[in-house]
Amino acid sequence: MSDTEHFVRDDVAGFLAMLEQLGRPGVEELPLDEGRAGMRAMGTIAEAEPRELAVIRDLTCPGPDGDIPLRFYDTKETREPGPVVLFLHGGGFVIGDLEVYHSLCTEISAVLDLPVISVDYRLAPEHPFPAAPDDCEAAARWVASSPKELGRDVTGLIVTGDSAGGNLTIVTTNALGADKADVPVVLQAPIYPVAGDVAETQSFQDFAEGFLLTGAAMSWFTQQYRGDPLSHRVNPMIEEAKDIPPTVVITAGLDPLRDSGREYAQHLIARGVDTTYLEAPGSIHGFATLRKAIPSAQGDIHALLDAMKLMLRRHGHIA
């Protein structure tokens, strides 16, 4: 199928044209430190400004291989007991960090009016699989324990994240379904996640070139991560997970990973999990952190957050 047969939003087309004119090399062609710097630089150019919040501070929690850096966001200095959002960033398990996702985390906290904890888990290739899921699970269990450092009485976890962080969202949620933390995961919201083997999907064939995330970059990320493709902590649909909470999934219409997210939502619906599936038609992978360059992405993020609020209200976790 040719690219011309796919609907592309005007602002997305403009952004892709700008990238083509810049002729920037793919992340797989760059030294590792340049790839990481490039993702941060893209954020300063293409992402919306952060919201002002009452609380933004860095802290750490114990991890399996030393302390894990975190960033704590909240719209209120103090609050009544309630759920807390655990945010797990994207970047192919290799190039993301707290700074790239800072503005998005302020948006999530402001719109949901909830605390958000962003997790700076260890990155590959220095720390290959299973370092990332180990750190995310450790952070989730720490937040669930209502640690004094948060000054919050945590009643439940809302786990969310994009791309690789969408994978880690599912994997972390499944881990806490199998081996309970102090409070349950009350909602998961993977954003254009890697939920299974993407290479055989139609969307991977259709959008592997020309839509920001490429097939070559995906192959490179996979090589750096060195995950076991037969492990449910890499491909979470391999095993039947226990106690899956209500779920909101969002994908992008022009994303190589689109069909992976679709298949995961279908998998949950078939199992009877309360699931909302959203798609951003005509948009690309990464839209959540490109809201200045792609203004329509702000509406997609708000659609996701509105769906999350509706699900939380329906199950009695927020007023």
Catalytic residues: 163, 255, 285
Check if the beta carbon of residue 291 is closer than 8 Å to that of residue 298: yes
Residue 66's CB: how many other CB atoms inside 10 A?
9
Pairing of strands 55-61, 82-88: unpaired
Q: For residue 101, what are its two tokens?
A: 């996702």
| Three-state DSSP class for residue 304 | helix
Nearest to 177 by CA among 121, 109, 232, 127: 232
Check if the beta carbon of residue 201 is closer than 8 Å to that of residue 266: no
Nearest to 185 by CA among 235, 217, 147, 140: 140
Q: For residue 105, what are its two tokens?
A: 């985390």
Cα gap 202→214, rounded to integer Å: 14
The distance between the two most distant Cα atoms of the chain, rounded to a whole number of Å, is 55
Q: For residue 295, what are its two tokens?
A: 């203004």
Cα gap 82→127, rounded to integer Å: 34
Check if the beta carbon of residue 181 is closer than 8 Å to that of residue 157: yes
Cα gap 124→134, rounded to integer Å: 13
Q: For residue 180, what are its two tokens?
A: 């309970």
